[in-house]
Each structure stands twice: as C-alpha cells, then as structure tokens.
Amino acid sequence: MHESSLVMNLLDQVRRLADLERAVHVASIEVEIGPLSGVEPLLIESAFERIAATRGFAGTRLTLLEVPLVAQCPQCDRTFEIVEFRFRCPSGCSANVRVIQGDGCILKRMTLTTDEQEAQV
Amino acid sequence: MATRVVTVERDVLADARASAGEFRAARTAAGTLVVNLCSSPGSGKTALLAATAQHWSGRQRMAVLTGDLATDRDAQRLAPLCDVLQMTTGGACHLEIPLVAKAFARLPRHDLDYLFIENVGNLVCPASHDVGEHLRVVLLSVTEGDDKPGKYPKMFRLAQALVVSKMDLLPYVPFDVEYAVSDARQIQPDLEVLRASAVSGAGIADWCQFLERQRQRLVSGAA
C-alpha cells in the first residue's frame, strides 16, 4: 500500500536523525502534507499506527500539518493558492506557475527525549 | 532526561529522490533517455512500446523494464521485439527506484539510446515516485473517459507528455479529445500532447520523432 511505503521511509529517516541526536525516545513527529502530496491523511495515520510500534516507535505521536497548495508566478512574482488544481496565474500571466507549498510530504520537526540533564535555570 | 525539539524540514522521500537522481545522472552520462510510462491498467502502454520497437526496428537501442503485480505477460509480449525485463512487485501498487535500478543491472546491455519503464497500471501512486526518469509520459485511452485528467491532478501535473491512445476507436466512443487535452493543460500547461493508435499505426512515427527530439536534447545538454 502506498501510504505504508511512505511511513516506512519516514520512520527510517526519523531513526537516522534520532540516532544522530542520541535520542532515547521520539516523542512526536510533525509532517506537512498538502493537496498534491499524493497521500490521504487518514490512510497515513492508519499506516503509522500499524507500523510504528513494529519499528521501535511505540508511543511516538504523529501530527499531520495540512497546508494549502500554493504557487508562485515566475512572470509577476504573485503568490496564490491553487484552486481546483487549475495551475494558472490569477493575473492572467501566460507562464507556467511554480508550486511552492502543498505538493510534498515534509518531515518538519521531531520532539526527542535524550539522556542529557535538563539545563538548570 | 531532556526534551528537545529538532527542526528537520526534509522531504520524506528525499533518500529515494537522491537515488533516482543518481540513476538518472548515470543514464544521462551514457546518453540513455529514460521514459517513465504511466497510465491506468489497459490504456495501451505495452502495445505502444511494441509499436515503438517495431517502428524503430533496431535503428535505436531500446530496452523496457516492465512492472506488474504479477505475471510476466508484458515481458513475453515485448521479448521478440527488444530487450525486456519483468519487475513483479508482489503487491505494491507502484514502482520505486531500488526495484528499477536492480532490474536495470540485469539487462543484457546498458549502452542504450532509450530505457522505457512501463509502470504499474495506476494513475495514483506512481505519481509520487521518481524512478530515475528524464521524461514522464501519461497515456489516456479514448475508452477511458475524457474527464479523467482533472481527477488525477498529481499525475498530470508531473507529466511532460500525454499520449491519447487507441485513437482507432475514437469513432465508437463518446471521448472528446480537445476537452481531455484542455482539462490536462489546465493542470500542466506545458504538456506535450500526442495522439496514437498502436493497432493502426497512426501517430507512432510522430511519437518516435518526439522521443528522438527529447533524446537529442538530453545528449546536447550533456555534451
């Protein structure tokens, strides 16, 4: 299943980064998705619930940040939200627009628990 | 124990994209145009590839890596015409670069002009996976319905060309080619559009000339 493959890629990346940070636990993961990410939020969540514990991430919370699909016109520099997947500049420019948000699956942040002592304030 | 928030800002598929980029760079250096052929099941990908091989008739060095969940039926159809290797995914609904790269290594020759990757019949999941291609082509047959592009925006947005296939059946189906093309170009204005019939041969020469121009552009860019 498509979302399963994505979750496995995500957890592989999180594992590598968590090891670099010498984390003992990953408390939470925030992932940004949008209308052109090619994933369905409910299916990602379901795949994560199914897979995370089997990969050493029991107790890790996944938060999905859903963002709109945003593009920029290279001709007039206008930034705008894409509506109904019509990729045209609202100002009528002829150039093809460039998507700048909402077409990827981005690992934004991780909250880690490490062995470090809390800093004394 | 301490809690720390680490900012990452990295594509979940970054590793896969990097691998696909390496595969693509190696093919560029070798002068091989890699074409990822995507469509719904039954749109005519294998038939188009067979017609391509027959048209070139050995004048161009081509190979096909064909992907399906099961069987090697597509490979059997193409084997008399060109080098071909079947990739069976088992249950995966799309191809990914590790499988493609492994299959490529098993081809009998690598000094190719064209490497075609015939993706699993699916307009959804393959859209998200870079398999090392230079050119992504979507097939839409006239038997499928002219309103399909708007339903699969990611696939059409990320394609560079659309082949409207099975054009020999157009008189018998309520498919409006101009409507479908217009719908697709709302999503990807730069889409190159070709019309073809593998059965009648119509449009195959144009399709092959399009591929040859794309390869010439690749080779010139690398020079």
8 Å CB contact between B86 and B75: yes
Give the residue ranges of DSSP H helices in chain B: 14-29, 45-56, 73-78, 97-105, 153-157, 177-187, 204-222
Torsion (CA) A17, A20, A26, A27 in degrees, nearest 10: -100
8 Å CB contact between B106 and B85: yes
Question: Best mutation site among B3, B6, B12 for testing chain A: the one with the most A CBs within 10 Å?
Answer: B12
Secondary element (H or E) of residue B52: helix B45-56
Contacts of B124 in chain A (CB under 8 A): 2, 38
Beta bridge partners, B117, equal B36, B65
Which of the 8 DSSP states describes residue A112?
E
Mean pLDDT of B173-185: 97
Q: How confident is residue A97, by pLDDT bands cut at 50, 70 and 90?
A: very high
Give the pLDDT score at B222.
60
> Would you say residue B105 has pLDDT above 60?
yes
Cβ neighbour number for residue A66 with a 10 Å cutoff = 12
| Residues of B within an 8 Å Cβ radius of A | 1-16, 92-94, 96, 124-125, 127-128, 150, 153-154, 157, 186-190
The predicted complex's ipTM stands at: 0.87
Nearest CB among A24, A85, A112 relative to B6 is that of A112
Give the pLDDT score at A50.
94
8 Å CB contact between B174 and B137: no
Question: Amino acid identity of B74?
Answer: D
The minimum CA-CA distance between B24 and chain A, rounded to whole Å, is 21
Residue of B nearest to A120 (CA): B2
> Would you say residue A119 has pLDDT above 70?
no
Write the pLDDT tens digit of every residue in B117-155.
999 999 998 999 999 999 999 999 999 999 999 999 999
CA atoms within 13 A on the CB side of A7: 26
**E strands along A11-78, which residues?**
23-33, 61-66, 70-72
Percent of chain A whose pLDDT exceeds 90: 84
Write the pLDDT tens digit of every residue in A39-73.
889 999 999 999 999 999 999 999 999 999 999 99
8 Å CB contact between A26 and A111: yes
The minimum CA-CA distance between A120 and chain B, rounded to whole Å, is 11
Residue with tokens 């595969």: B23
Question: Amino acid identity of B190?
Answer: D
Give the pLDDT score at B94.
86
